[in-house]
Structure formats: C-alpha cells, structure tokens
DNA sequence: TTAGGGTTAG
C-alpha cells in the first residue's frame, strides 16, 4: 500500500516542568487545556506537567484529543502520535484521540497526513469506527486519492459499516470527487437508503460535469429538497453559462418558501453579473445587508464583481472600501474591474497599495494588471509585470498571460515583436494568442501578419466567426475587395455563420433585447422614427457613417441602412425614450462595439447629455460628453 | 469528533 513506512512512531521525552504551571487542581488544568491555552507550546507545557505527575487517573479526564489535534494542526506529527500512544484503553477511548487527529489533518492544509496517520492504525489493536472512516474518506476526497479511497471503501464493507448512511454519503462524495461519474451514479442507484445529502452530492457532481439536464431531472425527482439542493442547481446553471435559468430557479425557490443563504446569494450575484442584471443585483445587495451576509468575504467579492460587470464601478469601489476583511480575490477583482473600465492608472495604484501592505498577488491579479497596461498602451510597465510575476512571486505565466502580452504588444503596433514573442513562447499558442495578434493587425493595418495569424487560427479555431470577420475587414480596409470576398466565401464553405449581434437594456426591471434591424419590439416604429431625428443632429455634428464595417456585398446607401439598424443604436434610442433625462443608459452587447456605433454613441452622449455605459465582449465603454473612457483604444 | 454548496480570469 502507498502509505506505509512514512511515519515513525516514537515517544518524545517529556518537556521539563514549567515553573509557571503551579496549579495542581486537575479541573483547572482541564479548563486551561480546553479553553485558555491554544498554542502547541502552551498545551505541551501543561501536558508535560501531567506526565511528570505520572498520575494516570488525572490523565484519564484530560481532553487529550484537543492537545493531540492542536499539535497535529501545527504539523507536530510526532508529538500528536506520542499522545495517542501514551493513552491506555482503560483510561481513555483511544479511537477518539485518533479520530480527533485524523479530523484535524483531514481539514487542515495537508490532508495527506490523515492518510499517513490512518496507515499507522493497523499497527495497533484498535478498531476504527465510523468517525475514523469519515475523516479518512474526506481526506481521500480532497486529494482525489482514488486508490486509497477504494481501499477504505472495501475496509468499510469488510468491517460491516456499509449500512451507515453517513459513511455511504461520504463514499459517494469520494467517488464523485475523484471524477468517477459512473461509479458514483451506480453507487447512488444502489444505495438502500438515501437522504437529502445523498441527492445533493450526486446533483452537485453532475452539474460540475456539465450534465445539467441530468442533474435537473434528479432535482425534480428529489423527495425532499433543502436550501443546498436549490443552491447546487442555481450555482450549476451559472457555472454552465446559463444565468437566466439560474435566476428562474431562484424565483421558484422563493415561491417554494426556501430562504437563500450566503452561497445562494453568491450564485445569484454571479448570474446577475453575467447578465448585467443590475436591478436584481441591487435587490440582492439590499437583501444580504438585511440578513447580515454583507460581512462575508466571498459574498462581498461577488458583489464587487457584479457591480463591476453591471457598469457601476463606483459602487464596487464603495463595497471594496467598506470590507472588514479582504482576500486576494477582492483585490484582483477590483484591479481587473478598474482595467476593464479603462481606469488603468487606478488599477496600478491599487496594486501598489496592495503590495505595500504585504498582500501577495496571484496569477489572476497579473491578468488584471496586464489588461490595465494593454488598455493604456503601457508597454514597459506590462513587460515589467510579466517578468516580475515569476521573478518576484514564483508565478509561472499561463497561456492567458501570454495572450495579454501579445495583446499589449500588438495593440501598441509592435507587431513584429508580438510575432517573435509568440514564436518564442514555451507553450503552444492558442486561438486567443493568435487572435490578439490578428486584432493588432487590424488596428495597424498589417495584411501580411494578419494572413500569418489566420493561417494558425484556421487550424486552432476554424469555427470562430470573429476571425474571418476581422480578416475580411482588414482586406476591405486595404481596398482588397476580392480577398475580402474570398474570406466570406471561405466562411460559407466552412459552414461558419456570423454570430448575430444583440444588445440589451434593462428598464424598470425588464430586460429589452434588440438584434440588428429588429422589428419585433413593440416600440420598433417609434424607435426608428426617433433615430431618424437623431441622425440629423448627428450629421450636423460631423457624423459620417462608416460603411466599411458592413461586410455584405451591397451598395453604399444600403450599407448605411444596415448600419443605422445596429442593435446597440436601437437599444440606446430605446433607452433615451424610456428613461428619465440625465440618467445613465446601460447597454450590454454580446460582441464588440463596431467603429461606427462607437463614433455615433460618443456624439449621442453629448447631444443628449447622457452617460452611456456599454459592456461589450471585452470591456466597458463609458461615453460621456462626446468622448469614451476607452480613449479609442479597444 | 462524522456527509453535501460559493468569489477574481476565461
């Protein structure tokens, strides 16, 4: 077996009696051990004193499991074991102390220690109980240690514990954690008795395996549901990119009279963030303040993320400022959020504050920093961060970091350097990396390198319509219409269709979604009428329709007609018509904003004295007084 | 002294 011979069992010599341990009253000593002493050193002092008195009767009433588990927690493995060994069955239930240490290890930073300790149990004439197995199986789950987990399962059956429901659930969880879906499902099917925990384990596992439909089918069959059952399904829908279903399920949960807890709230806020559903997000915020969940770090982190992704950077900053405790997730979310909103300088300042107080960044913090540099064109700063992450923090750059670097170099026009950078990468470039180079080629009109990038992209990500569109745009921009047509034909031949663009806006809690040329909206006629009025004002201020963004083969005036019906324009006009003057208009878009809409929205913000906040696929554009927060850099 | 869920990027 893998676990033998690692731990040495020996009794450590008792520590010398400490002068300040003078109290010989055993009850006081017990109280001290239970409540007043917390460090292994203090506990050892008392323990050694008891050993010195050599009074086994006294020993018998001491909470040795606490002493042992505190020592175990600080990785004083030998001392913990010496306590275990010292206990004699007549005076203390030995297995309780073993279990106590196993629990401490299983729940600590190194669950492998629980397995090592368990392997030593076979050297003694002590029978493990259900608690013993539950802790060991927990460690197996955390470590995804299938070999040991299966052996423990066999041992559970051999010793006749197989009918214990607690253990059955723990075994089920172990198989699920080890990724054995079929084994877990078979085990679940054969369970003679199941409770709500059994159902929750299998449902959660299926959602994590992207088997959301199967999970929902089981959820529907559950004889009884708990908050955790609802939460598992809601979180599952968010994880598999179906936030609308998550919110729908939450409504059903409320109707069923179930109260959400912190975890439900986190899942719900994540769904709001994905959808840009600010109204619901705000209501959840009010709710969690009422429930007292507002101090929970994870809840606050998700709240920050929700406000950032709904375009409310200032509220996110307020939540961040009000947090009593912050983790690296809080800092990274805020740094990434500032970058996304075009406030790169603030992102870098926040990183400095974080470093000053000794918080260590992680890989995701650096993605935020590199984005910030990219959006501001801070090439040297970006290079410095990229080098620093490994040199100063031991963080190995992942493909995402390389993607950020290529983006940074390409956007700044250092296309050859970006290309060299890709060629020298220690890991194989993916579609995102080559796509970043292609994006830079579009901005800086480099047809040759664009063709090089597309060569790789057609292999790596042939069904992604975005790359064909960009290349076709590059050709059109260079006046190479035949090549542009060739790309469109290639797209058709490959069966690649352009993802239809949509924009949405939330008014009075209802989400209105628009596609290009939308005629289905009840206010469609008024929207187009209002647009025609607005167009006159735009043209007076110098707006010229940028028809090159239209890839279709058609006459100029028809292209203009297409442009005027882009979904973000329709959504903004709808917003102007249906929200009070002076209030911000928030738009969500599934693709990137096109150049023409970008130019138009800048002028619309000025003409109507409105802030227009657009979240596109990559970042935020905040149009205000005729300019955009992205500073034309997107 | 035992079982199940959550955050930043993409």
Tokens linked to A587? 């738009």
Please say whether the beta carbons of A218 and A199 come within 8 A: yes
A453: closest CA among A504, A507, A403, A379?
A403
**Would you place residue A632 in the very low, low, confident or very high pLDDT band (cuts 50, 70, 90)?**
confident
Tokens linked to A78? 């030998």
Please say whether the beta carbons of A382 and A401 come within 8 A: no
pLDDT at residue A7 tops 70:
no
pLDDT for A543-573, tens place per residue?
998 877 776 667 777 778 888 889 999 999 9
Tokens linked to A495? 């069966």
Phi, psi of A489 (to 5 degrees): -70, -40
**Would you place residue A18 in the very low, low, confident or very high pLDDT band (cuts 50, 70, 90)?**
very low
Spacing of A335 CA from B8 C1' in Å: 9
- Taken in order A462, A465, A467, A472, the sign of the CA dihedral is positive
Spacing of A81 CA from B1 C1' in Å: 17
- H or E element at residue A589: strand A585-589
| Ramachandran quadrant class, A183 (left: phi over 0; alpha: psi -120 to 50; beta: rest) | alpha
Q: Which residue is nearest to nucleotide B9 (CA to C1')?
A: A364
Please indicate whether residue A164 or residue A551 has the higher confidence score (pLDDT): A164
pLDDT for A590-607, tens place per residue?
998 988 999 999 999 999
What separation in angstroms does the CA of A509 have from each of A245, A246, A251, A277, A512? 17, 17, 14, 8, 10
Nucleotide nearest to A134 (CA to C1'): B2
**Would you place residue A272 in the very low, low, confident or very high pLDDT band (cuts 50, 70, 90)?**
very high
Nucleotide nearest to A336 (CA to C1'): B8
Q: Which residues contact A352 (CB under 8 A, 6 or more apart)?
A: none
Question: Strand B: which positions are within 7 A of a protein CB?
Answer: 1-10
- Which sequence spans correspond to the domains of chain A? 398-493, 514-628
The CATH number that domain A398-493 falls under is 1.25.40
Spacing of A366 CA from B9 C1' in Å: 9
Nucleotide nearest to A302 (CA to C1'): B7
Nucleotide nearest to A329 (CA to C1'): B8
Rounded to 10 deg, the angle between the A313-321 and A297-309 helix axes is: 160
DSSP A622: E
For residues A105-111, give the mean pLDDT. 87
DSSP A516: T
The pLDDT of residue A13: 34
d(CA A62, CA A67): 9
Please say whether the beta carbons of A369 and A335 come within 8 A: yes
The pLDDT of residue A382: 97
d(CA A134, CA A505): 50
Spacing of A60 CA from B3 C1' in Å: 31
A615: closest CA among A273, A367, A310, A335?
A310
- The residue count of chain A comes to 634
Largest CA distance in chain A: 101
């Amino acid at each position: 077996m893998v676990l033998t011979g690692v731990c040495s069992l020996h009794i450590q010599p008792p520590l010398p009696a400490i002068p300040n341990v003078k109290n010989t009253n055993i009850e006081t000593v017990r109280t001290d051990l239970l409540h007043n002493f917390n460090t292994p050193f203090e506990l050892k002092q008392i323990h050694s004193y008891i050993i010195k008195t050599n009074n086994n009767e006294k020993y018998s009433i001491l909470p040795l499991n606490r002493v042992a588990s505190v020592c175990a927690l600080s990785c004083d493995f030998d001392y913990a074991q010496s306590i275990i060994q010292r206990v004699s069955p007549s005076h203390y239930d030995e297995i309780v102390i073993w279990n106590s240490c196993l629990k401490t290890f299983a729940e600590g930073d190194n669950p492998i220690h629980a397995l090592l300790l368990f392997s030593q149990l076979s050297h003694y004439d002590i029978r493990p109980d259900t608690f013993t197995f539950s802790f060991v199986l927990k460690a197996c789950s955390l470590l995804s240690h299938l070999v040991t987990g299966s052996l423990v399962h066999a041992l559970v059956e051999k010793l006749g514990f197989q009918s214990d429901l607690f253990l059955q659930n723990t075994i089920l969880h172990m198989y699920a954690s080890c990724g054995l879906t079929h084994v877990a499902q078979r085990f679940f099917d054969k369970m003679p008795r199941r409770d709500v925990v059994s159902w929750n384990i299998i449902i959660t596992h299926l959602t994590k395996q992207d088997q959301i439909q199967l999970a929902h089918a089981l959820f529907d069959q559950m004889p009884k549901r708990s908050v955790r059952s609802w939460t598992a399904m809601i979180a599952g829908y968010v994880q598999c990119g179906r936030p609308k279903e998550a919110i729908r399920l939450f409504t059903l949960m409320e109707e069923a009279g179930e109260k959400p807890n912190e975890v439900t709230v986190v899942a719900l806020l994540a769904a709001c963030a994905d959808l840009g559903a600010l109204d619901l997000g705000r209501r959840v915020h009010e709710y969690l303040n009422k429930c007292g969940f507002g101090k929970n770090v994870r809840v606050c982190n998700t709240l920050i993320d929700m406000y950032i992704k709904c375009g409310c950077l200032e509220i996110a900053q307020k939540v961040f400022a009000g947090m009593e405790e912050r983790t690296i997730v809080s800092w990274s979310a805020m740094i990434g959020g500032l970058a996304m909103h075009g406030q790169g300088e603030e992102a870098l300042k926040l990183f400095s504050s974080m470093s000053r107080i000794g918080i260590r960044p992680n890989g995701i913090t650096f993605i935020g920093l590199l984005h910030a540099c990219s959006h501001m064109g801070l090439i040297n700063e970006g290079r410095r961060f990229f080098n620093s992450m490994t040199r100063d923090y031991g963080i190995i750059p992942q493909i995402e970091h390389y993607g950020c670097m290529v983006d940074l170099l390409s956007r700044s026009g250092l296309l050859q350097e970006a290309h060299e950078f890709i060629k020298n990468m220690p890991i194989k470039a993916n579609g995102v990396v080559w796509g970043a180079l292609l994006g830079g080629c579009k901005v800086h009109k480099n047809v040759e390198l664009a063709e090089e990038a597309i060569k790789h992209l057609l292999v790596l990500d042939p069904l992604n319509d975005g790359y064909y569109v960009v290349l076709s745009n590059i050709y059109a921009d260079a006046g190479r219409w035949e090549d542009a047509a060739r790309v469109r034909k290639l797209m058709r031949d490959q069966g690649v269709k352009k993802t239809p663009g949509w924009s949405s806006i939330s008014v009075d809690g209802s989400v209105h979604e628009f596609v290009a040329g939308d005629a289905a909206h009840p206010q469609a006629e008024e929207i187009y009428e209002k647009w025609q009025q607005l167009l006159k004002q735009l043209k007076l201020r110098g707006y010229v329709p940028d028809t090159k963004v239209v890839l279709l083969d058609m006459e100029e005036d028809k292209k203009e007609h297409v442009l005027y019906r882009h979904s973000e324009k329709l959504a903004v006009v709808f917003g102007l018509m249906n929200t009070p003057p002076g209030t911000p208009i928030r738009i969500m878009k599934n693709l990137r904003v096109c150049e023409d809409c970008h130019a138009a929205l800048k002028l619309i913000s000025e003409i109507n004295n409105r802030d227009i906040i657009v979240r596109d696929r990559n970042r935020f554009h905040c149009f205000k007084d005729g300019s955009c927060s992205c500073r034309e850099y997107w």
